[in-house]
Chain A
Amino acid sequence: MSTGDHSLQPPADGISAVVFSPDSTRLLVSSWDGSIQLHHLVAPPQPPAIFPHPAAVLAICFGSSPTIAFSGGLDKRVRQWDFETGQTRVLGKHDDAISCMVWSAEYNVLITGSWDSTIKVWDPSAEIPLRSTQTLPSRVYNLSLAASTSTLLVSMAHRHVYVYKLPELAAVQEGQPLRPSQERESALKFMTRSVACMIDGKGWASGSIEGRIAVEYFDPDPATQSQKYAFRAHRQQVDGVDCVYPINALAYHPVHNTFASGGSDGFISIWDHSAKKRMKLYPKYPTSISSLAFSPDGSKLAIGASYEHDNAVNEHDRGTIMLLVKDTVMEDCKPKAKA
């Protein structure tokens, strides 16, 4: 089981997200126990620095430097953290829990998505941090940013998918509605659970609640659109029943442009979307995979494993929480050379 994984001290309750700092030296973990925990990966092993919140934290991201981070969760507030000084600051709030956030280093804006069916754009350096609010048709579940093409992907409940051009989104002022560059419907028939944009920015992978992964492309050209496909994954035969697990986590490798998927079945697979092949299947983890993140240098994969409250783990193992770092991914995610 999980050979070669480097294990870190996990939080006290389920892991909601793991993210690496832009320089790959720190790992930030957010948890349902109402804390974010900062691990220094280059320093000698030590307990993480814990920063508590009044409610469960669902979303985190780093700013442009490894000492600035943002968090949000069930308390609906967007917080900015400065780990150097230990200072915190509330940038503003949503009307419902914040489910996801991304930082654009190019435009120096933070984008948060919430179950109140809006995304908000924040400029932390401005006097009034809130820059704009976009109302969407449904609750926002995931955001993914394709930095290379400055495209923001918003996945929502009821299979809505919106695509925004980041320059437009960053420039729009409060009160101005902005039409997304694309309004789409997910290629999957079930609720979207996770999305991740390709590193080359040409498309994205999305995983559903019902063990299926779709690969789609941004380019509206019919020739490109015809390349999209979906396949079944994270399924298991248990007692003759085909068990179907949610795909909780997707992450693209920043160098090789292949992606990792983690499911409630406790498996992590590495896929090559262009070769349409699975490259690696890691041994099963004792509980669901909650979150995955590749370090920006591509050398490490952070794995947050905990029960996702989706019935996929038997009663006995629901308390298991693991935080692991896999450092063999540079090799594992390398696409096989074509003959």
Chain B
Amino acid sequence: MGKKRKTQVFVLKPWCWYCEREFEDEKVLLQHQKSKHFKCQLCPRKLNTAGGLMVHSQQVHKCEPEPLTNTLPGRDGYDIEIFGMEGVPTNALAEWKARKESEAGSAAFASAAAAKRPRHSYTVIPEADLQAALAQHKALMAARDNPAPLMQFTFPPASGMPPFLPPGIAPGFPPNFPPNMAMPPPTFAPAAAPGFAPPPGFVPPFPSSGAPAFPGAAQVPLQPAAFSSATPPRPSPAQVLPVGNETNKQTAVTTDVLPKDGVMWPDTAASPAEKRALQGRYRYTSPTPDGQAMALEDIAAGRKRKAAADFL
């Protein structure tokens, strides 16, 4: 009988009025209130009560305090002084008690009901239930004997979209296609189609056919580049930057000034971006001869061509 009595004895744990959380003892509750609700947002100070926080804000920071943090709606005011369980409004306390009692009561009732429930049911199992159980069992066994091909995809071969393109990889089509072009042209090389899954964040390579001759420095008339990944002014695939290749950073090109005395960038002559632009992987040489060193371009293009060839 002692066991049964224990379930019926109702103990009200200390709880926080601001967020209605229960705590094992009052000490933890005080800690919680200090760190969650009575923390000054302007400095690391934690106060013991709402009033304390208000006085602190007014005297130290000379400003009206922010509403209390992490509280339930409507309980972020400073008008009620609460310290642990002291000062909790009586009606709120009564309400909480009633709620806990009913919860405990229903829990006790449920557990009592569970205890009383017969272990075995001697009633006749309805036919329909048996049927359902049988069907379920059959399905289960069938699934075990003959594993269903869950990931069975069949792709129409004419589809321009690359199969197995994981979501989140940008195919590079602007979402608003011109209405007369329902199907985007295949921007992926056919050889790369089946099972070709570029790494995340990878920009697809560009077909050499779609790139118009680069028009140089002069203003060009508006040219259709409807499919951004296909036809912006790009000289040739050889100019494609080896993107997404974080490992082969060519830091040797730049003469970085190393951090000294904790200053990360002591170089006052050039910005990090300028130094970065000198790295081989970012080097850009204009396709139009405008006095650029052609030898440099050849080197860069050769390297880039190799990188681009990997993707085709």
Question: A residues within 8 Å of B by Cβ?
Answer: 9-14, 16, 32-35, 37-38, 40, 43, 46-56, 58, 74-77, 82-93, 97, 99, 115, 128-129, 139, 141, 157, 190-191, 193, 209-210, 238, 241-246, 264, 277, 308-312, 318-319, 321, 336-339
Contact = CB atoms under 8 A, between A and B. Distances in A.
B175 A88 contact: no
B36 to A, nearest CB: 15
B268 interface: yes
B293 interface: no
A5 to B, nearest CB: 17
A244 B244 CA distance: 29
B284 A242 contact: no
Interface of B: 42, 57-58, 61-64, 66, 167-178, 201-203, 206, 214-215, 217, 219-229, 232-235, 239, 241, 243-244, 246, 249, 256, 258-259, 261-265, 268-277, 279, 282, 284, 286-287
Given A49-B174, A75-B286, A87-B224, 18 more contacts: A12-B202, A12-B203, A37-B170, A40-B175, A49-B228, A50-B228, A54-B284, A85-B226, A86-B227, A89-B220, A89-B221, A89-B223, A241-B261, A244-B263, A264-B264, A308-B273, A310-B265, A339-B61
B241 A11 contact: no
A32 B203 CA distance: 12
Contact of A51 (B232, B256, B272): B232
A12 B268 contact: no
Contact of A55 (B57, B169, B261, B282): B282
A264 B276 CA distance: 15
A115 B274 contact: yes
A55 B283 CA distance: 8
Main secondary structure of the interface of A (DSSP, over half): loop
Contacts, number: 196
Nearest to A87: B222
A54 B177 CA distance: 23
A97 B264 CA distance: 24
B63 A337 contact: yes
Contact of B203 (A38, A50, A193, A244): A50
A236 to B, nearest CB: 9
A309 B272 contact: yes
27 contacts: A14-B276, A33-B244, A47-B167, A47-B171, A48-B170, A49-B173, A51-B232, A52-B172, A54-B214, A54-B234, A54-B235, A54-B284, A74-B282, A83-B174, A86-B227, A87-B222, A88-B233, A89-B221, A89-B222, A141-B271, A209-B272, A246-B264, A277-B42, A309-B273, A321-B201, A336-B42, A336-B66
Given A40-B175, A91-B219, A115-B274, A311 B228 contact: no
A243 B62 contact: no
Nearest to A53: B232
Contact of A9 (B66, B170, B221, B222): B170
Contact of B219 (A47, A49, A90): A90
Given A54-B284, A75-B286, A337-B63, A88 B232 contact: yes
